Amino acid sequence: DGLPFGDVLSSGFILQILEEQKAVFRDRVFSPIVTLSAFIAQVFSEDHSCRGAVARVIAERVEQGQPACSPGTGAYCQARQRLPIELILRILRAVGIKLHRETPSAWQWKGRRVLVADGTTVSMPDTAANQTDFPQPASQKSGLGFPLARLVVLIFLATGAVLDMAVGPNKGKTTGEHALLRQIPGGLDSGDVLIADRYYCSYFLIAMLLRMGVDAVFQVHASRKVDFRKGQRLGKRDHVVAWNKPARPAWMDKTTYMSMPTTLPIRETRVGGLVLVSTFLDPKAVTREELGSLYKSRWSVEVNLLFIKEIMQMGVLRGRSPDMVRKEIGVHLLTYNLIRTVMAQAADRAGIMPNMISFKGAVQQMDAFADRIVCSTGDKQVRLMDEMLRAIACHRIGNRPGRAEPRAVKRRPKGYCRLSQPRDVARLPLKKYDVTAI
């Protein structure tokens, strides 16, 4: 409480969820609230170490007149292991839903909530436990690769907040982005609009979305042929056609397959050099230009995932067990949602859209103001919060339509050789040198 997002994630809110989870903890220094706060601060800080997290807890306790705890990291690491993953996920979803419900109608698309689905991968330490749950890619040799997890998220287009997520292995049956997306249908409500890239353009996913009352806008899959000479013509390179139900996929049971419609009316539209597939069949209600503009905004999810992986350093995790890996991903996304909430507050006060504010600039301002806000009270604390929100709103991003960059870097890495054998094996020849004698 008292931090920049203390009004969003209060102690009472955390305790309420703990009671609902029927979690039992001992009365220690690292209680669930202290542990979660330290975990969030650890993720928010550029120094992701547990030692730095414990140091911040010591400084806060001393500032509050309490005795300092041990600077060792053992108690904190054990407390993180005791945190239920369900607690983290429930808070993550609750913060995202709260932000959605408080979103001004002006930030929505035609009065409707737009969600973007996309996936990415994250790496982690090469431990036996991690390799079991998240096997490394087959292209990497044993002992030289790293476990890899696949992450699929639902992101609210207006604010960039994550509404839900699913984590699974990077390879194996039912581990693709489609399978993970089917694990999080609770993030979608009737009346929502889902946009995603061509990988998600499948008959059964669209049928499931329509059954939920959700409209979809995808780029057409590369394997599907589009012929604008067929179907009901709506305009130039714009028509409605009937898709026939394909054969039953291996992951779908017969009962579900039989419940699927035999045909789907689908609108196919060529706009901006892309062929889009959508469930908006009325060209007057949604024009082709509006479809193109909406799908073009999908690129924001790529940038948001880049913020999470690069600025928040989630690309390479530190957890040495699958349980800690999942918790680390959850806390990263929770912290990201809290940052997005503060950015939405700043945008609302400034009368602008949240996507006009720099994410990196917001993180820098929050980092600079956090300690001073915690140490202040009353009117001074309110003034600091107001000034922080004003400063965040001043960090605008430029208008960069059609921006494209090559997938290449100019600065060369250091000329170290690549490991061609496991590190333990490569270390053996070096042990013949007695470095203590030098």
| Beta-carbon contacts of residue 35 (< 8 Å; ≥ 6 apart) | 76, 79, 80, 82, 83
Q: What's the confidence (pLDDT) of residue 16?
A: 79
The DSSP 8-state label assigned to residue 244 in this structure reads E
Give the least confident one: 33-42, 95-104, 334-343. Answer: 95-104
Q: What average pLDDT does this structure show over 150-177? A: 90
The more confidently predicted of residues 433 and 360 is: 360
Q: How far apart are CA 80 and CA 61, in angstroms?
A: 19
The DSSP 8-state label assigned to residue 126 in this structure reads -
| Beta-carbon contacts of residue 1 (< 8 Å; ≥ 6 apart) | 10, 11
Q: What's the confidence (pLDDT) of residue 401?
A: 65
The DSSP 8-state label assigned to residue 245 in this structure reads P
| Beta-carbon contacts of residue 129 (< 8 Å; ≥ 6 apart) | 320, 321, 322
In tens, the pLDDT along 363-395 reads 999 999 888 887 788 888 889 989 999 999 999
- In this structure, which amino acid lies at residue 200? Y
CB–CB of 163/92 below 8 Å? no
Q: What's the confidence (pLDDT) of residue 278?
A: 97
Q: How far apart are CA 326 and CA 94, in angstroms?
A: 18
Q: Tell me what percent of the residues of the chain surpass a pLDDT of 90.
A: 60
Q: What average pLDDT does this structure show over 329-353? A: 93
User: What is the chain's alpha carbon radius of gyration, rounded to the nearest angstrom?
Assistant: 25
